[in-house]
């Protein structure tokens, strides 16, 4: 491809609206342009990279035995009403009407459509297991579309759905997708972790993993072991409890101290006022679980893990109590709650129980209590693991590892759905005993366009993009320093033709631009190998530089071509 003809509008300056490194690079290197918030056009370079990502995904899906289909973006609202998601999906679901005033949605995902399809097309266990996938445009009216392709409102997703006759078989389908995902992200050159995730409100039985690209801009926090492969989302992260409740100090009862703490409500304020560490305090939070108040106590330097508490209580609804409720149950404004004198159920974290004594709220405005002794004052509480993991906690899986924290971008998600959709949409098959039963389903997503951004968050330097070879828009950038110099141009054309014949994708910078401009653009668009044809062209000598290395090397024509073919 001749660069003079290519629609590749590079920008010197970072556009002010872009914050994420990947977004800035994509705009500057002329990969994408925005049409509306969260809605983008892929220019030729961006489209090429996206196609390469799609191709990797497609190859690995096919390899895993999944079959490609293509489902419509426009979906009748009735299907969504049947699954019960028409109401619960909320404003992210884009809704529209046709000329007959029938309601439709623009699909944010395709569980409904695929389940309806399989309901009418598959009737026997003999056809199972079956996994179908597509690479297709999704629509989600995100509240905060941002960071370019990382959170779009129209974006490209690979979504796959498995149908099995029982849970063992589902597990095999799930693992086959899980392994395919590992191959896909490895081939894309991504630094990622597969993390155990929380099943959350999507429902379903069994496991779910998210694939997280490690990057500072990521919205998720991941706890990962520094010794083994254990990794989990913060809300799901387990850790080995070092001090169990039974190591609790058999303390001698001391006197409670009444401490005047005017308007001092937060742990940080207490730390400052008392000049001691946050771990000397007990933090008491009032929640409501299915409408009833409960108190949760964690050490001052810890955070309550609401999912763990919610699961232990078996509550459907669990949230922080409002100020009115807190005041009613503690007799004090929010900020002064403590365990002593409370008549509601109390849950205390292991780490609190391991304290000899600490400072807690007094359930009285502007007062705290010192010398609160768990061994004495927290006799009738429910003890358990109610906190988030923190850096340095012991790995729950291996002996020696410690947890470290990272930020991550969710690029993929595998999920055991069970019968949630087959039940709702009445999708059944005849099993081996001739009995009708619902399909056991799994769903598996990869944000293909988000993946492009995630790769760029990891593969760039101060001069621009550094593409992994597997997804680079072109493999070789041939740059004659002076396009007006016929000798240089002839040699450049010759090299480009030779490489193209060998199946290598070449971009030829035939523009009549200053060398500085050409090199800056070349670095910015990040093609893995650059061949510069300059003043030694007449002797058949060119300069080669790998984008990910600092040094260039001079080689003769044939050696240069051999090098390019090899790399
Ligand atoms: P998030 O928590 O980031 O909103 P999600 O849980 O809504 O993601 P899924 O419904 O599991 O995402 O969708 C499957 C995959 O699609 C995600 O793993 C992610 O890679 C991608 N994805 C989801 N929402 C977007 C979006 N708005 N823009 C780009 N990619 C997205
Ligand atoms: Mg979402």
Ligand 1 atom nearest the C-alpha of 210 is: 18
pLDDT of residue 79 exceeding 50, the answer is: yes
What ligand 1 atom has the least distance to the C-alpha of 157?
Answer: 16
Pocket test for ligand 1, best of 148, 445, 454 (most atoms within 8 A of CB): 445
DSSP alpha helices (H): ranges in 406-485?
A: 420-424, 448-458
Among 138-142, 354-358, 409-413, the least confident range: 354-358
Residue 167: name the closest of 435, 426, 442 by CA. Answer: 442
CA-CA-CA-CA torsion sign (382, 384, 386, 391) = positive
Centre of ligand 2 to C-alpha 141, Å, is 10
Confidence check: pLDDT of 548 > 90: yes
φ, ψ of residue 341 to 5 degrees: the values are: 95, -5
Q: Give 515-546 pLDDT, tens digit per residue.
A: 999 999 999 999 999 999 999 999 999 999 99
Q: Which helix or strand (DSSP H or E) is residue 71 part of?
A: none
Q: Is the pLDDT of residue 379 over 90?
A: no
Atom of ligand 1 nearest to the CA of 412: 18
The rounded radius of gyration (Å) of the Cα atoms in the chain is 30
- Spatial contact of 513 and 507, defined as CB atoms under 8 Å apart: no
Nearest ligand, measured from the Cα of 198: 1
CA geometry: angle 165, 167, 173, nearest 5 deg: 80
Spell out where 304-402 has E strands: 318-320, 346-349, 358-364, 367-372, 382-384
Residues lining ligand 1, Cβ inside 6 A? 109, 140, 142, 151-152, 155, 157, 410-413, 445, 447, 449-450
Residue whose CA lies nearest to ligand 1 atom number 22:
447
Beta pairing class for 367-372 and 346-349: unpaired
- How many A from CA of 410 to the centre of ligand 2? 10
212 bridge partner residues: 193, 410
pLDDT tens-digit series, residues 44-61 = 999 999 999 999 999 999
pLDDT band at residue 251 under the 50/70/90 scheme: low
Instruction: Name the residue among 170, 122, 148 with its Cα closest to residue 35.
Output: 148
pTM for the full predicted model? 0.87
Phi first, then psi: give them for residue 77, nearest 5 degrees.
-60, -30
Least Cα distance to 564 among 474, 481, 487 occurs for: 474
Whether 437 contacts 428, CB under 8 Å:
yes
- Pick from 157, 213, 414 the residue to mutate for probing ligand 1's pocket: most ligand atoms within 8 Å of its CB: 157
pLDDT above 90 coverage of the chain, percent: 90
pLDDT digits (tens, 9 = 90+) for 104-145: 999 999 999 999 999 999 999 999 999 999 999 999 999 999
Q: Which band of pLDDT confidence, cut at 50, 70 and 90, is reported for residue 236?
A: confident
The overall average pLDDT reported for the chain is: 94
Give mean pLDDT, residues 322-326. 95
Report phi then psi at 66, rounded to 5: -80, 150
Ordered by where they begin, the domains of the chain are 9-207+415-456 (3.30.930.10), 244-384 (3.90.960.10), 474-566 (3.40.50.800)
pLDDT for 235:
84
Q: Return the structure tokens found at 43.
A: 């220019």
Please give the average per-residue pLDDT across 165-179, as a whole number: 96
The answer to whether 400 and 228 are in contact (CB under 8 A) is no
Which ligand has the nearest atom to the CA of 200? Answer: 1
Give the Å distance between the CA of 212 and the centre of ligand 1: 11
Ligand 2 centroid – CA 479 distance (Å): 43
């Amino acid at each position: 491809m001749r660069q003079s003809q290519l629609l590749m509008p590079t920008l010197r300056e970072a556009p002010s609206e872009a914050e994420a490194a990947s977004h800035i690079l994509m705009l500057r290197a002329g990969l994408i342009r925005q049409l509306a918030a969260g809605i983008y056009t892929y220019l030729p370079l961006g489209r090429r990279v996206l196609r390469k990502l799609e191709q990797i995904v497609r190859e690995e899906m096919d390899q895993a035995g999944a079959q490609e289909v293509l489902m419509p973006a426009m979906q009748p609202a009735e299907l969504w009403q049947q699954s019960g998601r028409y109401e619960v999906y909320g404003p992210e679901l884009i809704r529209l009407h046709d000329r007959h005033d029938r309601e439709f949605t623009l699909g944010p995902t395709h569980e409904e459509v695929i389940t309806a399809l399989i309901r009418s097309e598959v009737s026997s266990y003999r056809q199972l297991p079956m996994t179908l996938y597509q690479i297709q445009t999704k629509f989600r009216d995100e509240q905060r579309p941002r960071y370019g392709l990382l959170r779009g409102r129209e974006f490209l997703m690979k979504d796959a759905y498995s149908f099995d006759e029982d849970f063992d078989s589902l597990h095999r389908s799930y693992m086959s997708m899980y392994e395919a995902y590992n191959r896909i992200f490895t081939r894309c050159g991504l630094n990622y972790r597969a993390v155990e995730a929380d099943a959350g409100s999507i429902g379903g039985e069994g496991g779910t993993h998210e694939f997280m690209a490690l990057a500072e801009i990521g919205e998720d926090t991941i706890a990962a072991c520094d010794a083994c492969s254990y990794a989990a989302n913060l809300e799901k992260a387990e850790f080995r409890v070092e001090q169990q409740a039974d190591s609790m100090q058999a303390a001698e009862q001391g006197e409670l101290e009444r401490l005047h703490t005017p308007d001092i409500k937060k742990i940080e304020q207490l730390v400052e006022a008392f000049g001691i560490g946050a771990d000397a305090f007990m933090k008491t939070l009032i929640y409501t679980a299915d409408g009833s108040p409960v108190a949760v106590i964690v050490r001052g330097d810890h955070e309550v893990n609401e999912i763990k508490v919610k699961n232990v209580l078996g509550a459907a609804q669990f949230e922080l109590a409002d100020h009115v409720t807190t005041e009613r149950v503690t007799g004090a404004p929010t900020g002064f709650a403590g365990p002593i004198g409370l008549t509601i159920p109390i849950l205390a974290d292991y780490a609190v129980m391991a304290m000899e004594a600490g400072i807690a709220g007094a359930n009285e405005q502007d007062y705290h209590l010192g010398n609160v002794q768990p061994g004495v004052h927290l006799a009738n509480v429910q003890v358990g693991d109610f906190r988030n993991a923190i850096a340095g906690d012991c790995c729950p899986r291996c002996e020696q590892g410690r947890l470290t924290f990272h930020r991550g971008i969710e690029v993929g998600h595998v999920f055991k759905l069970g019968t949630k959709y087959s039940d709702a949409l009445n999708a059944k098959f005849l099993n081996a005993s001739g009995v009708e039963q619902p399909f056991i389903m799994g769903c598996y997503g990869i944000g293909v366009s988000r993946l492009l951004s995630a790769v760029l968050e990891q593969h760039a330097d101060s001069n621009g993009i550094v593409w992994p070879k597997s997804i680079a828009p072109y493999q070789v950038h041939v740059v004659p320093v002076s396009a007006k110099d016929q000798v240089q141009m002839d040699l450049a054309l010759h090299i480009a033709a030779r490489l193209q014949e060998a199946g290598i994708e070449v971009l030829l910078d035939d523009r009549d631009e200053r060398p500085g401009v050409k090199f800056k653009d070349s670095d910015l668009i990040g093609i893995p190998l650059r061949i510069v044809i300059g003043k030694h062209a007449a002797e058949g000598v060119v300069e080669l530089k790998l984008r990910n290395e600092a040094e260039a090397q001079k080689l003769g024509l044939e050696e240069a071509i051999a090098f390019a073919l090899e790399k």
